[in-house]
Structure 1
Amino acid sequence: MNNKIPCSVTILTLNNEDTIRQCLDSVSFCDDIIVLDGNSTDKTVEIAKEFGARIYPQVEGPHANIAIQNFTQMRVKSFNLAKNDWVFYVDSDEYIDEDLKEEIQKLVQDNDKNIVGRFRRIAIVEGKKIDKAYFYPEFADRLINRKAGIHWKPGSRVHESLVFPEGAEKKELKGELFSYWPDLEKCKKKDKHYLKLAREKFIDAAHKTKWTDFLRGLWKNTLRAKKVFALALWLPLRYRDENVLPFRYHMRFFWYNLIHAWHPVKFKALIVASWKRLPKMLKTIMMAALVIRVVLFAVLLITQGQSSFVYGPNGDAVEFVTIAENIKNHGEFSLSESEPFLANDFRTPGMPAFLLLTGGAHGAYWPGVVVQILASLALILMIYFFTKRYFNENIAFIAAGLAALEPNMWYWPTQLIGESLFTVFLFGAIYCFVDYLESKRMGVLIGYAILLAIATYLRQISYPLIFLLPLVGLLSINKQRFTKMAIAVMMPLVLLAPWFYRNHVVLGDFTYGSSFAVRGSVGKYVESYTQKKFQKPPIEVYEELQNVSGEDAAGAMMGVALKSLAKDPLAYIGIGATTLVPFFASDGWFTIAKSVEPTFEIGAFDKTWLGEPGAFETFVSNYVQSGGIVFLIAKALYALLTLAILFGLLIALKDKQSRKLVLLLFLVILYFAAASGLGSYARFRYPIQPILFIFAAIFLARYSRLSSQANRLSSRANSLSSRAKSRDPS
């Protein structure tokens, strides 16, 4: 006993008769051994008594073979039972070598409470000491002095850890701690138990878990799984003459990290907890939005079938379905209905990929619509949280309410044309970008790049924003951040690189797509300009000017556009100003009405007013003659909403704190107004609806506040008047 050091060893056991003897023998130089046992049914407890260990049950009760449900609690309990200040904890399947034994003896004898003993941990798998594994080098901080203020981190049911205060110094000791691994099936059983405990811990803490923290953990564990898989393949090739952890054991960690990150129970728990945290007003708005969208979905599905989700007012969905079917059946990104399947350069792969994932390529369109409806609900939440953060909660409630109830916002998610999903990812990218300008966190910038790249895969109209937003950001923040703004440009381009490469290989062109290059932005203005000037269809004008035809003429449009713009800029400005009228005033509710009720007579107002002053009277006349007085009222309501947007913009610009943000949002609006061109349909305006609703909400919140103040003043005046009359003796 005199040769033993004043150090308490704590061990948790459960049926470890195969390894506990070697473990206890290696730490027998310590004068206090505590064993917390889970009511083992083998000889574990008998062997522990041979070494003079103090035996305690992990939990009281008659049941045998009780698996630990909270490792942190057991560690705390074992530490509380220790007699000494120095505590060394080991697992029942571990032992230490002689070198480490001498180091521990020396450290305890020196008695510097601020020193923490750390040492290498070596795995023994299938009887072999492992030299290389993905987690090597692995260090264990196991020897501590309780007087240093070191304690167990609360809350962790599994993968428990110590909290070290300032002043604690970790000292690497010579020697090694060896850990026996059971066979693979037992390892998997242990991992299953650990994952269960980790999920239970997550569910317990879900009410205070932020989505950003959850997504950060998801990303971290997914990357770790990727690393495990890569090293599982590489290590055996690199270290042929050494004992490398077998591939099947590496894959144990691969699956552990993936399941830990992506288990649906965690998503469910966080969604439920997040819903409970939402304000009652927002819950009401969300429920109203859900009911409206589900009713519309049911009406379309029951009365018109799945075809209404594709063969609606726009042909884009049909093209996306055709491309998805050609990819599935022929492996070709093509709009051709039969061979030869010509490569398409106009569409991007986002929506065809979405249709392939949701069954649209197999004729099942409704699952994709359901996903889009759920995404539209997520968009309402994003609008609320964005507006609450950068403006205030009252404005956020109004903006979310507009997004929930405005017809375009609940109709277009039922159409598989891309705008709905595109808007969700675009607004998410803008949210992340604005957050980055404020927080400077690289993780947020990465999120922005991913979301904007996905949006651009869905609709290439967002491609110029890759350059435009960082340029605005460069003017909004410290110029020393130029490097990160350059990164903000490069990251989405890197993510879009596969499609650039595809276009280069298949089409011989490094452009992202022909839609933006030819018809986007000034392209439609050029069409209007040439139509008015030459009284011919634009394509004929291009053919004459360039002496080319067909696809060559289409490819020459941008050059013609730039030349004509340089010659007659005022004409373009006039066309652009005219375009803004239908962009903001055209509500698209007629299209919705016709889609819901195909027999609805829209007659003469099939043709949308494009903003020509002389055609306005005819436009109104056609509406009235066709029985569209109800929809003229709808136009008037939308015009009032447009005025609210404009006044809200002016109010927001007066606030110095939010002015830069407002200008950034307004720039995005102007870009989409310009990029949509003449005849801007309501769906072209859909991607910026969230921003428009925020500005409208700013005005409505101000108006409602002024109105409530006026009502209070009026009621106070009436009260004073009543009092004066009651005091009047006459």
Structure 2
Amino acid sequence: MKNRLHSLQRRINLELNSELDKATLAPLVVAAALRLGLMFAAFLLTGTSVMTQGDTPSYLEPGRNLILHGAFTTSGLPETDRTPGFPLFALLTGTLFGNVLLTLVAQILVSLASLLLVRKIAERIFPHRNAGTKAAWLYACEPLSIASTIRVMPETLFVFLVLVVIERLTAWQKSGKVAPLALAGVFLAAATFVRPVSYYLVIALAIGIALTAGKQRDLWWKAPAVLLVSSLPWLAAWQIRNSIETGYSGFSSIVEQNLYFFQSAEVTAELEHTTLGAEQDKLGYPDESAYITMHPEQRQWSQAQRLHFMREQAISVLAQHPVLYLKTHIAGVGLVAFTPGAAELLQLLGAYPSPCSMPRRIVNEGVMASALRIYSTHPGVTIAMVLLEGFLLLIYCLAMYGFASADRTTPAALTVVGIALYFLLISGGAQAVGRYRAPIMPLLCVFAAEGTVHLWNRKARGHSSPTLEIHSMS
């Protein structure tokens, strides 16, 4: 027993030494400094108001009721929009005791763990090329991940769990053993309880594994089966809870809310040549009182009946105008992919202008009109946006160069690309915002690191000159 403990301790020490060598320690320290520095600057300039604005209260209330009263409810009704993953994390790390900064410190630690996972994933996909260290540096300085860490929102925790899933998938691809897939499934279920956007990812991964596993040892069906069995029961259990308590059998009713108040509303707004906000007002957004005012006949309806109505109405609109819906969805994908995230950063520092002086929806006003309006009224904001957009475009260019230069057919590389595309495509639509890009950025950093290595090696080869041999003549 004593020998086993010594062996385990040696393995842990070796793992820590490999993770925290000098090459990794430097970006880790810089990442911590940037995040802690922003946290303290934001606290001094704006307090905790910006850190907990927007959707944050909608996560905290049901989580607080679950901890204190044993029921995941909002305003006395079972909560179906939010899932309990992030609420429990936020409350147990400090928010329950009124200490927002403790929760942010916990998020910073989670973000630093994500940096280590980014490095390991890059090393697995691009071994012996020093890509891991460069990926760590890129992620340490990536603005969206920094700003997301200083808000009490699920992105930081979600990114970490997704990266654990990817790391376990690459471990399976390297070893051929199915045990890492079981852990990948559990962590994928945990990620889905933090943000339901990954709900369909398990199916996509299972199909991808079946296609790339090969026929040896029947892995083509055993491997995806392990992933599905370790993930789906957890998701099914929550759907059973929703069905028992509310009659709604989905995983998260945010799907119906987005379909009704955003995606179909955006299509209707395009047809009627009005704005998304105006159409949402007609539908009764954003709270229950506004909804009942616009739909008085539903006052006595159950939660499940209202959600069923929203889904049916939304699908009817989208089915009648599929091309227009596709157009609005693609526009949302563009917003997710290219919004620089300057607004979130400037809000934390109290430097963002009044919302009434800024474009409400770039989709409605147009990219050029919005850009000119911001430039004419807020040149400082424009400079911040240009700088952050430049960094984002640089990451994209390096990632594309790395993808083009590397072996793109390896299962690990295909897995990372597939997951990045999944999050990009599923995050489109009228509800799209820049923070939805959070799980994509570390994956871009992995390929951007490979692009940086290739550029560096190419530059080194360009500077090297052939040795000149001088022959004496006699």
Q: Rate the CA distance shift 1:669–1:388 in 2: closer, same or farther, 3 A.
A: same
Aligned to 1:623: 375
Residue 636 of structure 1 pairs with residue 390 of structure 2? yes
Aligned to 1:181: none
Residue 406 of structure 1 pairs with residue 142 of structure 2? yes
Q: Give the C-alpha shift of residue 460 in structure 1.
A: 1.0
Q: Deviations over 1:154-177 (max 9, x none)?
A: xx6468xxxxxxxxxxxxxxxxxx
Q: Is the 8 A contact 2:131 2:453 kept in 1?
A: yes
2:98 alignment partner AA:
G
Q: How does 1:388-537 map to 2 (within 5 A)?
A: 388-392=123-127, 393-478=129-214, 480=218, 481-519=220-258, 524-534=262-272, 535=274, 537=279
Highest relative contact order (Cα 8 Å, sep 6+), 1 or 2?
Answer: 2
Q: Deviations over 1:556-587 (max 9, x none)?
A: 34344444444443323333333332222111
Q: Rate the CA distance shift 1:463–1:205 in 2: closer, same or farther, 3 A.
A: closer
Q: Give the C-alpha shift of residue 519 in structure 1.
A: 2.0
Q: Rate the CA distance shift 1:557–1:648 in 2: closer, same or farther, 3 A.
A: farther
Aligned to 1:664: 415
Q: Give the C-alpha shift of residue 418 in structure 1.
A: 0.9
1:526 alignment partner AA:
S
| Rg larger for | 1
Provide the rounded CA distance (Å) in 2 between the counterparts of 1:602 and 1:560.
35
1:350 alignment partner AA:
G
Q: Is the 8 A contact 1:648 1:697 kept in 2?
A: yes
Q: Give the C-alpha shift of residue 476 in structure 1.
A: 1.5
Residue 371 of structure 1 pairs with residue 106 of structure 2? yes
2:372 alignment partner AA:
V
Match of 2:79 among 305, 323, 344: 344
Q: Which has the higher strand share?
A: 1
Q: Which has the higher helix share?
A: 2
Provide the rounded CA distance (Å) in 2 between the counterparts of 1:429 and 1:205.
22
Structure 1 residue ranges without an equivalent (≥5)? 1-155, 160-197, 211-273
Q: How does 1:32-71 map to 2 (within 5 A)?
A: none
Q: Give the C-alpha shift of residue 434 in structure 1.
A: 3.5
Provide the rounded CA distance (Å) in 2 between the counterparts of 1:205 and 1:691.
28
Aligned to 1:114: none
Q: How does 1:209-220 map to 2 (within 5 A)?
A: 210=15
Q: Give the C-alpha shift of residue 277 in structure 1.
A: 5.9
Provide the rounded CA distance (Å) in 2 between the counterparts of 1:490 and 1:621.
52
Q: Is the 8 A contact 1:310 1:416 kept in 2?
A: yes
Q: Rate the CA distance shift 1:306–1:316 in 2: closer, same or farther, 3 A.
A: same
Q: Is the 8 A contact 2:84 2:193 kept in 1?
A: yes
Aligned to 1:579: 332
Identity of aligned residues (%): 22
SS of the counterpart of 1:531?
Answer: helix
Match of 2:36 among 281, 288, 294: 294
Aligned to 1:284: 26
Number of aligned residue pairs = 447
Q: Rate the CA distance shift 1:618–1:408 in 2: closer, same or farther, 3 A.
A: closer
Structure 2 residue ranges without an equivalent (≥5)? 285-290
CA RMSD in angstroms comes to: 3.3
Q: Give the C-alpha shift of residue 508 in structure 1.
A: 1.7
SS of the counterpart of 2:225?
Answer: helix
Q: Rate the CA distance shift 1:580–1:701 in 2: closer, same or farther, 3 A.
A: farther
Q: TM-score, normalised by structure 1?
A: 0.56
Aligned to 1:321: 60
Provide the rounded CA distance (Å) in 2 between the counterparts of 1:408 and 1:562.
33
Provide the rounded CA distance (Å) in 1 between the counterparts of 2:253 and 2:223.
29
Match of 2:94 among 339, 355, 359: 359
Match of 1:680 among 414, 419, 432: 432
Q: Is the 8 A contact 1:470 1:488 kept in 2?
A: yes
